[in-house]
Amino acid sequence: MTIYTGILFVHAIAVLVLTASLTIEAWMLFQLRRASSPGEVRSWTAPVPGLTVASISSLVIVYVTGAYLTESLRAWEFAWPRFAVLEVILFAVLGALTGRRLRAIRRLCNNASEIESGWNAGLRSPLLKISLSIRIWIVIGTILLTAAKPEFVESLSIVVASVLLGWVSSLATLGRTRAISTARAGSR
């Protein structure tokens, strides 16, 4: 096995961990939108610190190993690696915004004096859904960039399409029915 092969293996594993983190986040968001009490929200947001560490670590590894692989191929002169770096940066920014919002929701639920509307409104924030959807499509777009190795216009199109597809797919329902509203409707 060569160093290149080893780095490629580590890169692939980091992408898989990043994808797993997104999957866990999607499930967590689905469950959070159905939560009916601060206790339920606390239990579903418990993985946030570990998920943050896994996501950031994986993203850094993807970036570093991807840079090494690109340098090994002497491909920095092409457009696709630059757009892949742009997508990694966009992923990081959206992930940071989401992490900040989820930590705020956790703090509201841990503070017993906070009113229900604070954490309830935070859970309904469209930012969580939009960020998740765009980051999923960014991963897909980055894989397409690295597989197809397109020229500038096609690379730009892939990045724009990733963001647009992420935004459009965020409009789909994701656990919008809430247990609390169902419980209240049943008690009438």
53, 93 in Cβ contact below 8 A? no
Listed in sequence order, the residues at least 6 apart from 152 whose beta carbon sits closer than 8 Å to its beta carbon are: 79
pLDDT category at 133 given cuts 50, 70, 90 is very high
pLDDT digits (tens, 9 = 90+) for 1-32: 899 999 999 999 999 999 999 999 999 888 88
- Indicate whether 185 belongs to any domain: no
Provide the domain count of the chain.
Answer: 1
- Indicate whether 89 belongs to any domain: yes
- Indicate whether 72 belongs to any domain: yes
pLDDT digits (tens, 9 = 90+) for 80-124: 999 999 999 999 999 999 988 888 887 777 765 455 555 566 677
- Indicate whether 163 belongs to any domain: yes
59, 98 in Cβ contact below 8 A? no
Please state, in angstroms and rounded to a whole number, the distance separating the CA atoms of residues 44 and 42: 6
pLDDT digits (tens, 9 = 90+) for 141-166: 999 999 999 999 999 999 999 999 99
- Indicate whether 188 belongs to any domain: no
The SS3 assignment for 11 reads helix
- Indicate whether 170 belongs to any domain: yes
The domain of 37 spans 3-178
- Indicate whether 31 belongs to any domain: yes
51, 25 in Cβ contact below 8 A? yes
Please state, in angstroms and rounded to a whole number, the distance separating the CA atoms of residues 17 and 10: 10
Mean confidence (pLDDT) of the chain: 86
- Indicate whether 186 belongs to any domain: no
**pTM, entire model:** 0.83
